[in-house]
Every structure is written in C-alpha cells, then in structure tokens.
Structure 1
Amino acid sequence: MEHAAAVADPAAPPGPAVPFFTQAAGFTARWPAIAANIGAVVDRGKYSHGPLVARFEQALADYLGAAHVVGVNSGTDALVLLLRAAGLEPGDEVVVPAFSFIATASAVVLAGGRPVFADVDPVTYALDPATAEVTAATRMVMPVHLFCQLADMSAVTGFAQRHALTVVEDSAEAIGMRWDGLHAGLSGAGGVLSFFPTKTLGALGDAGAVVTDDERIAETAAALRHHGRFGHTLDHFPGINTETAIAGVNSKMDDIQAAILLAKLDGLDADIARRATLAAAYTERLRGCPGVRRLPTIVERDVDTTPVFYVYVVEVDHRDALATYLAAHGIGTETYYPVPLHLQPCFSHLGHRRGDFSVAEAACTRTLALPLYPDLTEAQVDRVCSVIRAFYGGSGS
C-alpha cells in the first residue's frame, strides 16, 4: 500500500459495509407521497415541462424566498442558462475558483465565455476574490458554495462592485444555506441548484433549477430551456412575438423528477437537521485523530449565516491510501477534487502551471468526503471513524 509506513496498525475493526450514499430508507418512507405524484403525472400524460414542474417551481420558490425558480434538466444546464440569461457575451471573462467541479468552468465555456481562475480560501474552499485577476474583458464573478457553507459574499459582492462585475452563484450544492437572510443564489443576479440524487434535495436522476429575483433573467432562462420559445412579446425584445426569439436548447425538467422532488421537499428541513447531527458526530469522533489535518469548520461572520452539510469533507494525510483502505473495508468515499480546474487538460490553452493556485492544489491532494446522508446511522459513523483511526495507527474504538 502507498505510504504503508504511515500505518502503524493495518487491522481495522470488523463491521458492515457503509456506502458513500443511499436514499433507500428515506425513499421508502416517502413512497406514498411520491407514488401519488407520479400517478398524477401518468394519468395526465404530460411527462415534461408540465403542471408538476410548475407546482414544484412555486413550492421551491416559496421555500427559498425567491421571486423565480426555473426548473431545468441538470445543475450544469442551469449554470449555462443562467450565464446566458445574465448577459454573458462571447469572449467575456468570468472569475471562477480553481477548486470546484468541472461544470463550474465548463459552463462558462459552453455559454461562450472564458473562465479566469482564482485561488480559494483554505477553510471554506470558496473563491478568494483577493487572488482574482480582472481585465478589461472580465464581466462576471461566480463564487461556488462548497460542502457546508457559503462563500464570503460580503467579500465577493464588494469585489464585484469595485470592478463593475455581475455576481452569479454556483449554488448547486447549497440548498438551505443563507447569508443574512438571503438564500444561496440570491445575493446577485441569480444562482442555480442541482437535484442530482446525492444532493441534499435529490431526484432519481438529473434535474436542476435557476433561481433569481430578476424577472428578465427568469423569463430568458425559461425561454432558453425550451429552444428559445417565449411565446409572447417581452419588453426587452420589443416587437417580437415568436417562438424562437433567441437560440435555446432542450433542457426542460421532467415531470417525474418534479413529482419526486415535490414530495421530498416537505422533508427537506428534517433531512438538513439530520445531516447536522451526523456531521457533529463525525467531528466528535475524529477530533484529535492522527493524520486528520482539518475537520469542517463553520466560519463566523458579521452577518447571520445558515450552514448545511451537503457532504462531510476532511483534509487528511495520505488521502489516496486512506480512500483505498476504507474501500477495502467496505466504506465508500469521494475525492473532491483530484485535479484543480486550472490544471484540467481541457483548459491547458489558458497556460496555467502547477503552483499558480497553491491553496486549491493542496486541497486537491488532501480532501476526502465521508458518507453523509439522512439514512446513515450513528453506528455507521462509528464504523467509519474507527477504520480511519485504525489506518493512522490510533485506537479503533
């Protein structure tokens, strides 16, 4: 095993497997409501972009406190459509963090723009605007809210104001998170949500949404998701009353996914509370563990903030060897993210080198996500932590 010398006691305590994610128990408990909603879809025969989508959009808008929610078929599409609806033009630059999922930067490219990378804060892993380079072509800044808390939106909005930039938020992971009362995605022009199955509010397939308080952005995103079809005259497209005022895509949300999400939305706050309990259990059991460099830390701000544990991410020594060891003992993990965005082959033309964004690069070698979902039990948390301690030569008890 790589770094085997770091492991004093290779024997981990026996126990059952712990998957990285499952929603089997929670899905079963909510099945009556889900089945009723799916039955309504089947009976009506409208399977895409139908009344269940509209119902979900309104229910979610009420939950978020947003003026508009536009359901689409993935969080990635939501980012692309938001950027276009917010006015990104071909060649415009968007400041994005170097530490994030590939969709953060690829969405900029797909919307016609050019990503400009910046480093991240070592505690929140979110965009550090002080490291961003702004040019005459920079038009937007896109913070990403990762893992359990929002980026420093005071710093981001201040940076945007100084450089006359539009703020758009990659809030795909951030449902339930708030900054001074505003839900994630609503501090600037708009944001997005992902409903990928592992997310805090997950579907049984891909789905996403654009969230905004801006009517024009909402109407444009809604048209873009449906081949550019407005179907009525808009003030900002004077004289146009046609189905294809702008070139759009097919990114409509399926009513089956809306039916599932609508049924699960009622239990979202309970799921968030359960995640917080499990995160606290992890922190208690892993505090002081040799080899664990950093546990999740919620940063105190000058404004009220609401953290939500989408995943529980630790920084550890010998990360890849630990992941292999956990897998050998039936415990699933995920690596966020093994390669920083500026070093991804698809962005090699931007000319970045290793060392350009040191905090992001260090995080890519150390961060590991442990199992965290409402179906998880505290006994399973004990099992995960015991195996981690065994790997580093500590007590497995």
Structure 2
Amino acid sequence: MEQAATVSGFLAPQGARVPFFSQAAGFTELWPRVEPLLREVVDRGKFSHGPLVAALERALASWTGARHVIGVNSGTDALAILLRATGVGPGAEVVVPAFSFFATASAVVHAGARPVFADVDPLSHALDPDAAAAAVTRRTRALLPAHLFCQTADLGALTEVAERYALTLVEDSAEAIGMRWDGVHAGLVGAGGVLSFFPTKTLGALGDAGAVITDDDRVAETAAALRHHGRFGATVDDFPAISTESAVPGLNSKMDDIQAAVLLAKLGTLDTAITRRARLALRYTERLVGCPGVRRLPTLVRRDVDTTPVFYVYLVEVDHRDSLVRYLAAHGVETEVYYPRPLPLQPAFAHLGHRRGEFPRAEKACACAVALPLYPDLADDDVDRVCELVRAFYGGGGA
C-alpha cells in the first residue's frame, strides 16, 4: 500500500483472511469490458499518451464536471504539476495539513516551494481554517487542503482565508473522486485539484496513474505542457522527438494507455462502487457504535452547504491501536494505519525544526487512528467478522 501507511501482516490460513484491499472478484467481472480496450492498445502500438488517455480525460471531465482533465502517471505527479501550473515556485510557502499522505507536502518541495504545516480539524482530519490562517506569512502563496477518507475539508472557510490573504486555493483531492461541495466536485472549488488512481482508490487502476482537474484554461495548458517535457500545445497524438523544443522544464509524466483502458472500463461502475462503499460503511457503524475502546467512528461534519461524502477509507480512532492491529492480524484481518507520523515530524522535514506537541490534533490521530477493510468486493459477512473481532478485543481485555 502507498505512503507511510502500515499494513498489518496476517497469520491465519489464506481462506480465513480479510485483506485490507482486493479487487480480484470485481475485476473478473470487469474483464470482458477491459479486454477489448487492451487489445486496441496492443494492436495500435501506442502505449502512452494515446487516444484512450484522451477518451478517459473526456469521460472524467463529463463525470466530474471539470472543464479540463489532464492525465498523468500518478497522483503525486499531478499535485506537483498542479502547484507549478498555478504559479507556486521557489521562494513561496504553501500551507499544508500536518496530517495527510506524504505527497501533500513533498509535492510542494518538488514545485520548489516550502511547506508550512498547520493542524487539522479533529472530525474531518482536514486542514483547520483557523490554524491555516495563523500559519500565513508574507511569503505564503497558496493553501493546500487535503480531502481525506470520506469528506472534503471546509472549503467555505478555506476559501475565505485564501481571499483574505490573496492566496491561491489548491486542493489535494487525490482521495476525493465523487465528493462534492455545494454541487461542485472536489478539486474544482479552488484553482484546481488532482485525482489519484492508485489501485486502492475509489476509482483505481492496475498501477499508478493520476490526473489534474481544473476549470482554469491557463492552468490546464501549463499542466498539459509540464506532463510532456514542457511542450505547450502537445496533444496525445504527439510523440516526443529529440528535436522537440520545450518552453519550460517539464516531466515525463504521461499516463499509460493501458491504465486508461482499465479506468475507462471501471468508470462505468463507479457510481455502483461508491454506493457499495457507503453501505459497507453504514454496516460498520451500526455494528461498532457504542463499542468500548472505539473512541470515534467516522463523523460527517455538517456544513452550511450541501456536501456529498464518499467513503474511500473507513477510519476509526481507538484505544491501544497497535495492539488491536496485532490482534486483528493474528485473526487474519489486515488493517492500515493512516498515518503513522505527522508530516512535520517526518525525517524529510527534520530541517524545519518541528517538535512533538506543536500539532496536537494531528499527533493524536497518528497515535490512535486505524483503517478497517473497505472496498466493493468486501462481503457483508467479512464486515461482521471484523466488527466481532474488534468487540472481542476490547470486551476481552485483549490489550
């Protein structure tokens, strides 16, 4: 699995396992839709940045309502490219949450800027608007909230902060496909956002892939150039030649047509997958509510506008988290820790001089949060088994 997330091992027989993630059954059903698309890729001999990528970009634009979708080779690249395309560069500071996937902060570094950390809201686990405002300096150029687990950050309050200080709002919406704020898809409230198609995501490929989404023509044009060696005006039919001139230092971050083929096929089942995830999350909640030792179940924060949650991860906060993880692993249930260490305390950012205690809400989440299995292939009986084991752990004094 991605990031500094920790995946528990498993000691039970293979047949008794509840994996943290699997798409084996679903992909078997999907294969008849995928196979002809893959054959088309092989027959054409255009494996990267080809017509299926263009078709996926159009389909995602229609599904999300985005004016522009730019396919790239990972969600991390998408975020770094988006930041550069919105003008973030050397000498700039970007306010980011202290609790998120590592790429939220590393993308800022790859754009040549400096991440400035702020604490998070204890319910949504997203960037806290007041903490973000307090972190703004004269060098701050952007706010970068991350939408985590099942809901967006407070985009209303964060937009107000951005407007107050003349900052660009850029969204790390990598986990947020399907989430909406007042009818607007996540990533499109600010200057732009990103999508990750890492296999475990709500819309997952068979490897790494990502996209930039934006309604801004100039941001889209620049992002498209940056993904393709800095070539403005390059289309999916262009192949980079040695003699090609580049206007800006870009990357080779083009999406593979093989991943585009898989994603095009899966996009037709995305609404069904989102509904299934919601039903599984509700089943977890019904069976874990009131469980001793479970401090907090996923809490959807009420906003002043209509919002659309999507359960990518079912995250609970618990007592004796690490012991629970080992207990579940011993009984064949895999889990993931989101996230083991706050971003400011990652070794890569040690030079910024942060110490424990500076970001108490992020640090608390890192100490007690754990994700339980949640994906469309997961059976109802598997959810019941996981919940029975959690209750047995706390009821039996397993800590």
Fold in common (TM above 0.5)? yes
Q: Distance in 2 between matches of 1:199 and 1:362?
A: 25
Following superposition, the deviation at residue 243 of structure 1 comes to 3.2
Following superposition, the deviation at residue 395 of structure 1 comes to 11
Following superposition, the deviation at residue 323 of structure 1 comes to 0.5
Structure 2 alignment gaps of length 5 or more: 1-11, 235-243
Following superposition, the deviation at residue 23 of structure 1 comes to 0.3
Whether the 8 Å CA contact 2:294–2:318 is kept in 1: the answer is yes
Whether the 8 Å CA contact 2:129–2:154 is kept in 1: the answer is no
Partner of 2:94: 94
Q: Distance in 1 between matches of 2:53 and 2:395?
A: 52
Counterpart selection for 1:260 from 241, 259, 262: 262
Q: Distance in 2 between matches of 1:394 and 1:303?
A: 43
Partner of 2:82: 82
TM-score normalized by the length of structure 1: 0.93
Query: What are the residue-to-residue correspondences of 1:191-206 with 2, within 5 Å?
Result: 191-206=193-208
Partner of 1:311: 313
Whether the 8 Å CA contact 1:228–1:246 is kept in 2: the answer is yes
Query: What are the residue-to-residue correspondences of 1:96-115 with 2, within 5 Å?
Result: 96-115=96-115
Following superposition, the deviation at residue 16 of structure 1 comes to 2.2
Whether the 8 Å CA contact 1:231–1:243 is kept in 2: the answer is no
Query: What are the residue-to-residue correspondences of 1:354-369 with 2, within 5 Å?
Result: 354-369=356-371
Whether the 8 Å CA contact 2:118–2:131 is kept in 1: the answer is yes
User: Secondary structure in 1 aligned to 2:89?
Assistant: coil
Query: What are the residue-to-residue correspondences of 1:125-136 with 2, within 5 Å?
Result: 125-132=125-132, 133-136=135-138
Residue deviations 1:63-87, cap 9 Å, x none? 0000000000000000000000000
User: Secondary structure in 1 aligned to 2:16?
Assistant: coil
User: Secondary structure in 2 aligned to 1:201?
Assistant: coil
Partner of 1:238: none
Whether the 8 Å CA contact 2:127–2:146 is kept in 1: the answer is yes
Partner of 2:4: none
Residue deviations 1:197-242, cap 9 Å, x none? 000000000000000000111111111011101147xxxxxxxxx7
Q: Distance in 2 between matches of 1:79 and 1:375?
A: 29
Following superposition, the deviation at residue 300 of structure 1 comes to 1.4
Q: Distance in 2 between matches of 1:107 and 1:130?
A: 23
Whether the 8 Å CA contact 1:386–1:395 is kept in 2: the answer is no
Amino acid at match of 1:154: G
User: Secondary structure in 1 aligned to 2:69?
Assistant: strand
Which of structure 1's runs of 4+ aligned residues deviate more than 6 A? Answer: none
Amino acid at match of 2:33: A
Q: Distance in 1 between matches of 2:123 and 2:20?
A: 23
Partner of 1:40: 40
Whether the 8 Å CA contact 2:187–2:194 is kept in 1: the answer is yes
Q: Distance in 1 between matches of 2:161 and 2:319?
A: 34
- Please provide the CA RMSD for this pair: 1.4
Q: Distance in 2 between matches of 1:263 and 1:273?
A: 18
Q: Is residue 57 of structure 1 aligned with residue 57 of structure 2? A: yes
Q: Distance in 2 between matches of 1:285 and 1:243?
A: 60
Partner of 1:390: 392
Partner of 2:216: 214
Q: Distance in 1 between matches of 2:322 and 2:103?
A: 23
Q: Distance in 2 between matches of 1:28 and 1:281?
A: 25
TM-score normalized by the length of structure 2: 0.92
Counterpart selection for 2:292 from 285, 290, 293: 290
Q: Distance in 2 between matches of 1:163 and 1:301?
A: 23
Structure 1 alignment gaps of length 5 or more: 1-11, 233-241
Partner of 1:173: 175
Amino acid at match of 2:364: A
Amino acid at match of 1:315: E
Following superposition, the deviation at residue 320 of structure 1 comes to 0.7
Following superposition, the deviation at residue 394 of structure 1 comes to 5.6
